Structure 1
Amino acid sequence: MLGGQKLSETVECVDPIPSDVDFLLYTRDNTADPVVLDPANPLKLDSNKRLIVIIHGWVQGTRGYGMQEVKDAYLFRYDANVVIVNWGRLAFDLYNRAVCKLPKVAKIVTDFLCLLGQRSDINLEAVHLVGHSLGGQMSGFIGQFSKLVCKQTIGQITALDPAGPLYHNAPINRRLDETDANFVSVMHTNGGILGYVSKCGHVDFFVNCGTLQPGCVIPKIDLNYLVNINLLSVGCPHFRAMDLMVEAVRTNDFQGVPCDGCPLICPPIASFFKAKTIMGETTPKTARGGQFVVTNFKSPYAIKLQMGIGA
């Protein structure tokens, strides 16, 4: 499935076609059994409801780690239209090839969103993209393409530990960046390993300093070779972002403090007694810069501190 391709090697990839990507609609009326939307002729959606689009990462799919839980959390909180983008047939490949295909998959998703917006009278500024790993990077491409294809800007991107390998030194037009949506919020949990290490949003939350997570035991891996690995066994901190997002959507309990030095220098725990920024669904759109968040080692992850929280 994954083969022995060295990560630094350049690869070619076959252009995906629209039928390679599924768009699965969930609402409170069908929380478990999705409606499969036709990308060429999507259903008209209720424009009064939020439209949340969730995108999985490498070697994942609709039933990948945390995907259903994030969807359920949103439907618990909102009477919304939640669409899961299933590009699993393309994601189960060499990492290099998945990266190669990512902008092309993003173009398919963008075309779908443009048409869906036209049919349902939904401005893309009302759309919220939530992407994990390569799904976070794909969200950035969708944001770029929407300006060209739809002449509209995506309203919000929440990137959950966006993928790092092959993106760390990429120019901003080849990776997630704060210009990709009106508001880009990023959660870093495995930066420098499977996740992107540096700031790339309007606000970047470095959870437990952004690289390793309490409660995760990580075997040693060579990032030059992503070969036949069990991603869940080595990616505990990477997937922790999904667990945190589920809890963050259901609660407002994650709190951060400004951290200009993150991820290299993180503040002491005492600084949390002046925390001001909520991490999650209610992160204020005015939030900027690096934020340091500390968590428990198991669920519930949020540490509830008695302090004033600014909006």
Structure 2
Amino acid sequence: MLLACQLVILALVVPAILAFRRLPPQNVLPDTVPLQYDALSSKLLPKLIRGHLLDGVQQRGTLNDGEQRTSCCGDLGCFPITSDFFHILHRPINAAPNCAIRTKLKMRLNTRENPDKSEFLDLYDSAATIGQSHFQPQRPTKVIIHGLMDRYVLRWNRQMMEEFLLEGDYNVIRLDWSAGNQPPYTQAVANSRLVGVFTAQFIKHLVDEYGARMQDFHLIGHSLGTHTACYAGEHIRLNYGTLLQRITALDPAGPYFENMPPTVRCDPTDANFIDTIISDGQYIIPNMGLGSSQPMGHINFYPNGGTLQPGCENLGPLNRAAADSLRLMTAFDLLEMLTESMTETFICSHMRALMMFVESINTAPCSICSYECTTYTDFLEGKCFSCKDATKCSKLGYFVNASLAHPNVQNKFYTLTADATPLCTTMYKFQMTLQNKTKENQAKTAKGMVKVTLHGTRGSSNALLLSENAVTMEPGKTYRFMVESRRDLGVVHSLVLYWVDSSHLVDVGKAKIIHLHGNLLLTDQSELISEFQPTQSAVKEKRNQLASFVTSHSQ
């Protein structure tokens, strides 16, 4: 049914797009594009859609999914399609890896000796390439693996390499498997198994022939590249009796992997330590999500809940043009903007995990602290905002606390980020308590959108929304919210509370009021609690209520 829904939706969109837009040449990708759009330019959306249509048409008859089939690719071995690779909803179509791409896979090396020009390392011509390169086995080695329709030369890939070389003396290898990552998607999924085994054999060759150490290898994969890295880790574990040191999974691809057995996807057995950053963990239907919400590592980060990221809500020229209602547009113009808008919105959250990881390598003063919590809702309610137990919080990204990893345990960590670079923020927990109902106050339950503005010694925040949804405020109850500021405010000396009723109930002649009990509390990331006394306890709707600092104490 999932595949049928995809095909129906695409069948409605594609004819209109193709009627007004010529398809681009095959395998054309820009060399440099903005970081958040590297994986897919707007001009490639019709190609991607066409690939998904061919996915259902060309391959359905090639393999019987209930039957075990095996494809053998020379020295890379055989790839059986066993029953664990099939699910009627999550993985209805299985292709065999394309053995022809084996000789087209390329490893590109950069070191501090050759930061600008990469060197081609050939597993099948080792002496002439690896032996003559700047590869040094005593150095730690980073292997960067891109995903679907991506290339090693694109900006995010190169930027990650540059950040690594700035941070330390590493061998940085970028795997180029663009010969096998093109649509249809199911073929790229199948090819990722072959590419994973190729990567494993390449690493084993560096260990056996050049004296590199397995514990010095760190693989970083994005999207489909995540599972490629984990296939490499699995092959090393099963065939060589050892483990990669670390795999970083940046928004692991969801379609055809989520809810599948560990043998099919990334899982904690694939390396000594696996950390994931999940930024687009929504189902592709109906939310157009490309990642997976399923925890696949030892430590799993869910920034902003792991779904729609701040700044990705209203992207694209279609949304920017919507305000200009007087502009006359031809059908071609409208369709052009629709295509670009869909693409920008489609991949924005998926690429955010990459941006977070790249930023984390060399921006220690602007690190993103994350907190272990059962659910994102509990985190937003301030139930997990503490690092007193050092095992309950960690930096997100390159400098994650790997000591928190435990076998057979998959912990979830949550945090808040900004809507643009730099993505780090200063987080606070805000708390207010409402008075019980009395004859004097006649307090009633109110429902509204609540904001707080913080004023500190280094500046002021914007008006921070306490919740994306209207807050139901009942007399006698205490409410806690996580908020974040993009700027460092210094010592907060006052705040302003503001709310707008959203109950739509008409109470003629009576002002809508909430009644505060005691002081407002603000906890910062050092866990210092500051108390702020409001000028009055009755807070009318649409009126700014100032509260001034009175005291502070440790949590």
Matched with 1:299 is 421
Distance 1:297 1:238 in 2: 14
1:257–1:126 distance in 2 versus 1, CA, 3 Å: same
Q: Secondary structure at the match of 2:403?
A: coil
Q: Does 1:89 align with 2:179?
A: yes
CA contact (8 A) 2:149 2:183 kept: yes
Q: CA deviation at 1:8?
A: 5.7
Out of 282-291 and 179-188, give the one that drifted further: 282-291
For 2:380, the equivalent position in structure 1 comes to: 268
Q: CA deviation at 1:86?
A: 0.5
Check conservation: 2:137, 2:212, Cα contact below 8 A: yes
1:270 shift after superposition: 4.1
**DSSP-derived class of the 2:412 partner:** strand
Q: Is the 8 A contact 1:266 1:292 kept in 2?
A: no
Which residue in the other structure is 1:225 paired with?
none
Q: Give the secondary structure class of the aligned counterpart of 2:119.
A: strand
Per-residue CA deviation, residues 127-180 of structure 1 (Å, 9 max, x unaligned), is 000000001111111110012333321000000001000111210011000111
RMSD: 2.4
Return structure 1 stretches of 4+ with deviation > 3 angstroms. Answer: 6-9, 228-233, 269-273, 304-309
User: How many residues are matched?
Assistant: 300
1:272/1:65 CA distance change after superposition, 3 Å: farther
1:10 aligns with 2:127: no
Q: CA–CA distance in 2 between the matches of 1:272 and 1:10?
A: 42
- Please give the residue correspondences for 1:59-78 in structure 2 after superposition, counting only pairs within 5 Å: 59-64=149-154, 66-78=156-168
Q: Distance in 2 between matches of 1:148 and 1:231?
A: 39
Whole-angstrom CA distance in 2 between matches of 1:190 and 1:162: 9
Seen in structure 2, the aligned counterparts of structure 1 residues 261 and 109 have a Cα distance that, compared at 3 Å, is same
C-alpha change, 1:135 and 1:82, in structure 2 (3 Å) is: same
Aligned to 1:241: 353
Which has the larger displacement, 141-150 or 54-63?
141-150
Q: 1:31 is matched with which residue? A: 115
Give the aligned partner of residue 449 of structure 2: none
Offset at 1:50?
A: 1.2
Aligned pair partner of 2:369 in 242, 255, 266: 255
User: TM-score if structure 1 supplies the norm length?
Assistant: 0.89
Alpha-carbon distance change, 129 to 177 in structure 1, aligned in 2, over 3 angstroms? same
Alignment check: 8 A CA contact 1:218 1:235 kept: no
Q: Is the 8 A contact 1:215 1:297 kept in 2?
A: yes
User: Deviation at 1:307?
Assistant: 3.3
The aligned amino acid for 1:260 is T
The more displaced of 250-259 and 169-178 is: 250-259
Counterpart-to-counterpart distance in 2, 1:16 and 1:304? 50
**Match of 2:398, as an amino acid?**
E
> Which string of whole-angstrom CA distances, capped at 9 and with x for unpartnered residues, describes residues 50-84 of structure 1?
10000000010112351111111111101110000
**Is 60-69 or 107-116 further displaced after alignment?**
60-69
2:274 aligned residue (184, 188, 198)? 184
Instruction: Kindly state the Cα deviation for residue 11 of structure 1 after the two structures are TM-superposed.
Output: 4.4
**Which residue in the other structure is 2:412 paired with?**
290
Which residue of the partner structure matches residue 150 of structure 1? Answer: 240
Tell me the SS of whatever aligns to 2:154: coil
Equivalent position SS for 1:190 = coil
2:297 counterpart (189, 201, 225)? 201
Q: Which amino acid aligns with 1:69?
A: Q
| Structure 1 Cα separation of the partners of residues 93 and 380 of structure 2 | 42
> Counterpart of 2:179 in 1: which secondary structure?
helix
The DSSP-based 3-state class of the residue aligned with 2:123 is coil
Letter in 2 for 1:268: L
User: Per the alignment, do residues 267 and 110 of structure 1 end up closer, same or farther by CA in structure 2, a change over 3 Å counting?
Assistant: same
> What CA distance in whole angstroms lies between the structure 2 residues aligned with 1:287 and 1:250?
22
Map Cα deviations across residues 275-303 of structure 1 (whole Å, 9 max, x no partner). Answer: 43111121111225100021000000011
- The unaligned stretches of length 5 or more in structure 1 are 220-227
Task: Name the CA distance, whole Å, in 2 between partners of 1:295 and 1:127.
Answer: 29
Q: Report 1:84-233 matches (<5 A).
A: 84-192=174-282, 193-217=289-313, 233=345
Alignment identity in percent?
Answer: 26
Change in CA separation of 1:11 and 1:181 when aligned onto 2, cut-off 3 Å: closer
Structure 1 letter corresponding to 2:195: V
Task: Write the deviation string for residues 192-242 of structure 1: whole angstroms up to 9, x where unpaired.
Answer: 2211111111100001000110001368xxxxxxxx997555110001111
CA distance in 2, matches of 1:298, 1:168: 28
**Between 233-242 and 173-182, the greater mean CA deviation after superposition:** 233-242
Residue aligned with 2:206, SS = helix
Tell me, what secondary structure is at the counterpart of 1:286?
A: helix
CA contact (8 A) 2:379 2:385 kept: no
| 1:84–1:244 Cα change, 3 Å | same
Q: How far apart, CA to CA, are the structure 2 residues paired with 1:266 and 1:210?
A: 14
**One-letter code of the match for 2:187?**
R
Gaps (5+ residues) in structure 2?
A: 1-46, 57-89, 283-288, 316-338, 388-392, 406-410, 428-523, 528-555
Confirm or deny: 8 A CA contact 2:141 2:170 kept in the other structure.
yes
Q: Whose strand fraction is larger, Structure 1's or Structure 2's?
A: 2
1:10 maps to amino acid:
I
